[in-house]
Amino acid sequence: MPDFLPFAGLRYRDGEDLNPLCAPPYDVIDIDEREALASRSPHNAVRLILPTGDDPYANAARDLTDWQANGLLARDPTPRFYGYRMHYSDENGGSRITTGVIGALVLPRAAGEGDVLPHERTLPKAKSDRLALLRATRANLDPIWGLTASNGLAEPLANATDLKTCVDEDGVHHVISAIDDSSAIDLVRSIVGSAPLVLADGHHRFETAIAYRDERAQAGSSVKGDEAVMCLVVELDERELWVQPIHRLFTGTPPADELRDRLRPSFTIVEAGRNDAESIQALERSIQDGNSVGLVERDRIARLIPVANELSSVQAKLDPAVRDVPSAWFEGLTATVFEGAQPAYQNDAQTVATHVNSGGADTAILLPPVTVEQIRTAALARVRMPQKTSFFAPKPRTGMVFRSNTGQ
């Protein structure tokens, strides 16, 4: 079963306002946002997770070292778990709280082995970038996200001591707290260790951490901290999780009419209006049942409904655990349609539509979100969905705590 350990985190010193210092995870930050975050403070965490310059990874390592040397970052005196809460409003305006625990998750021998269960495939380029950063900094700069099928995490969190708060651009309130009591630490370890852990977010960083541990071992330079990766664990429960879709943008596709001709053997194309905010919102609602997807072009949009016999043929080739996952059957139905096009990923449909409308992408596909139950089923069956299938929101803030690989 998963082994989850406390660690002595690196944190911004007491008295520092975290609002100008924290950032979203690296993979949801575009170029403009990166610059905006960096301009907030010379010590914003984005400088570590998305470094720039002629030798960006060395620059990140230098910044991390300098910030510790000048006292901006300090290591907590003893290992502990960190409680983490996110207070937010969902798409319906409902008040929600996601609660979890940050600790050091001991890595399995290989991804997909043991009781840490990935649920998505990964992209090689993203892993090579994160590996270069980990080699340089020897630190976990933002937590991956795991979901435990156990329950009871509220109990050890009950007496946690709040340490720091910040508010992100979407108005989400983030709170980190200290779990120092030995009985509470033992209880967290027992709860997380009692059931398999499903990876929700951070598949690339997870596989990167395994690769880094292995290369350090082969080089004979391992230290204790290499055996684990910083992880936020949340209960695998609909009440704790808000899963959004991730849409596909494509560059290098054929002209719109030709692309539609390629799609027609597999889909019925139902016109859905112009590419404007109101029509995009209506298209999003129309695909929520998971039985269709949206097509976004510069001047028009449409709903793509799979042709029944084509869909059945593709689903018959899929593992039962993912047959009803839209990203999986869509990938099968369009195996050759988007051949040669360059994909990009974005979770917000309005942003996708604006990007296509402005010529930033040739076309896009809007996908419905997967369910918590689909994620659970795929992970427990050890079947991976296509990369970038689920988007868990809100995202934990980078900079609330770091974990150095030079020790626990």
The DSSP symbol for 127 reads H
Per-residue pLDDT band for 381 (boundaries 50, 70, 90) equals: confident
Top mean pLDDT of 115-119, 124-128, 213-217 is at 213-217
- Report whether pLDDT(202) > 90: no
- Contact between 120 and 384 under an 8 Å Cβ cutoff? The reply is yes
Q: Which two structure tokens, joined as six digits, stand for 189?
A: 């370890």
State the Cα–Cα distance between residues 259 and 249, nearest whole angstrom: 14
- Contact between 42 and 105 under an 8 Å Cβ cutoff? The reply is no
The DSSP symbol for 371 reads P
Listing DSSP states for 273-327 in one string gives EESSHHHHHHHHHHTTTSS-EEEE-SSEEEEEEE-HHHHHHHHHHS-GGGTT-HH
Give the pLDDT confidence score for residue 72 in this predicted structure.
98
Residue located via tokens 């100008």: 20
Strands 144-148 and 197-201, by their bridges, are: antiparallel
- Report whether pLDDT(408) > 70: no
Helix, strand, or coil (residue 376): helix
- Report whether pLDDT(6) > 70: yes
- Contact between 7 and 101 under an 8 Å Cβ cutoff? The reply is no
| Chain segment 334-346, per-residue pLDDT in tens | 989 999 999 999 9
Mean pLDDT of the chain: 94
| Sign of the Cα pseudo-torsion (360, 366, 372, 374, in order) | negative
Q: Which two structure tokens, joined as six digits, stand for 138?
A: 């020897």
- Calculate what percentage of the chain has a pLDDT beyond 70: 98
- Report whether pLDDT(280) > 90: yes
Per-residue pLDDT band for 113 (boundaries 50, 70, 90) equals: confident
- Report whether pLDDT(255) > 60: yes
Across 356-384, average pLDDT: 91
User: Which CATH code is given to the segment(s) 247-366?
Assistant: 3.30.1760
Q: How far is C-alpha 189 from the geometric centre of its chain's CA atoms?
A: 23
Nearest to 324 by CA among 257, 277, 279, 389: 389
90 versus 65: the higher-pLDDT residue is: 65
Give the pLDDT confidence score for residue 362 in this predicted structure.
97
- Report whether pLDDT(358) > 60: yes
- Report whether pLDDT(124) > 90: no
Name which of 180-184, 229-233, 242-246, 383-387 the model is least confident about. Answer: 383-387
Q: Where in the chain is the domain with CATH 3.30.1760?
A: 247-366
Give the pLDDT confidence score for residue 126 in this predicted structure.
64
The DSSP symbol for 12 reads E
Give the pLDDT confidence score for residue 125 in this predicted structure.
64
Residue located via tokens 């139902």: 270
| Sign of the Cα pseudo-torsion (100, 387, 366, 317, in order) | negative
Across 332-361, average pLDDT: 94
Q: Which two structure tokens, joined as six digits, stand for 108?
A: 């399995």
pTM of the full structure: 0.87
Residue located via tokens 């043991």: 114
